[in-house]
Amino acid sequence: MTDVLAKIFTDEILSRLRKCAMHSPSAEFRWRVLSSAFGPGDRPDAGGNVYKLKRERWARWVASAVSAGMFEEPYGTELKSRLTGIDEDGFRSALAECMTCWAFSSELQLQLVPRPSGRGGRVLEFGIRRQEGDVGLEVKSPRFPGFGDGEHQTTLSRNRLHTYLAAVAMRAALRSANRQFVRARRNVLVIGLPEIQPLPSIVPEGWTTALIRAFYGEKRETDMQAGFDTARLVEEGNFLRQLGGSARFTRISAVVGLAEFACGSDLQALVLHNPYSQNPLEASMFGMWTQFMVKNGQVSCVKHDEPVSRSTSSF
């Protein structure tokens, strides 16, 4: 599988990336990953080279995208250009598409079709072939605020700020994707977060909180009378906030948050179903991935073998 990266990231591309590495920690991290490779018979151990392990993971993702036809024309050149370019945002978005392709095809065993048509002549990343009708799939990889260096950057207040800013970025991604989706079809937005730099964009424990805050809302204390716990869900997320009494973003069935936090661990996949979707999706489509739904003002987990209208275990 590592050969697929060698074919795409030529010596010329790696040389250009190495020059940029002198001024960019992200470019240096990328160069170290892409220039690392296991030799014949070499196997990573518990203390193995993190760059080599990361390269193996990226190779699986890219190989999956190649098999799915993502690098074929007329859109393959553009994807390859982003993947091999210097721009960090372009690389992250291209890798997120490959990561999504691998997760949906390998983990969920779904049949993907590359580059289906969207709304108004737009093109989506994937279509999912389902017996009950195709599903549109769009991948967004917004830039999240980095945590930076220094102990003061990891305080509780700092983490809350980064969670809030991540939620803002996700909401912008939702608005953009909504313009691309056809209303008559079931649609899924994927927020993809591959790990492409030495410092995290968001900590794992903040990932779930940021997703729920962006699309559902957050719990806040509203009254402290008589010592009762009066925290309630403030429905300010994009799925629940209404405009003129009407729900918005109803053409989107669900959002999937797909994130990588360490090269040796599984991807973290979270599914947030849209309670106001015109075309909801069955929970079984997402296998064993963790899923959420809002019911009676509560964010609850949905079992993978249950319809989304039923919910269990309050979050």
| Residue 81, domain member (yes or no) | no
| Residue 191, domain member (yes or no) | yes
Taking residues 186-194, report their average pLDDT: 96
| Residue 169, domain member (yes or no) | yes
| Residue 89, domain member (yes or no) | no
Taking residues 203-226, report their average pLDDT: 78
The secondary structure element, H or E, covering residue 157 is: helix 156-178
In Å, what is the CA distance from 110 to each residue of 47, 105, 186, 219, 267?
A: 34, 5, 15, 35, 17
Per-residue pLDDT of 90-113, as tens digits, reads 999 999 999 999 999 999 999 999
| Residue 267, domain member (yes or no) | yes
| Residue 193, domain member (yes or no) | yes
Band of residue 134 on the pLDDT scale cut at 50, 70, 90: very high
Query: Do the Cβ atoms of 199 and 148 come closer than 8 Å?
Result: yes
Taking residues 59-80, report their average pLDDT: 96
CA–CA gap between residue 57 and residue 33 (Å, rounded): 10
What's the token pair of residue 152? 């003061």
The secondary structure element, H or E, covering residue 218 is: strand 218-221
Taking residues 158-175, report their average pLDDT: 87
The answer to whether residue 225 scores a pLDDT higher than 90 is no
**Taking the CB of residue 209, how many other CB atoms lie within 10 A of it?**
18
What is the pLDDT, as a whole number, of residue 43? 53
The answer to whether residue 86 scores a pLDDT higher than 70 is yes
- Percent pLDDT > 70 in the chain is 82
Q: Of 115-124, 149-158, 206-215, 229-238, which range is least confident? A: 149-158
| Residue 36, domain member (yes or no) | no
The answer to whether residue 36 scores a pLDDT higher than 90 is no
Parent domain of 123? 116-314
User: What's the mean pLDDT when you consider all of the chain?
Assistant: 85
Cα Rg of the chain, angstroms? 20
Q: What is the tally of structural domains in the chain?
A: 1
| Residue 38, domain member (yes or no) | no
Residue with more model confidence, 268 or 154: 268
Q: How many residues does the chain have?
A: 315
The answer to whether residue 154 scores a pLDDT higher than 60 is no
Per-residue pLDDT of 59-68, as tens digits, reads 999 999 999 9
The answer to whether residue 279 scores a pLDDT higher than 90 is yes
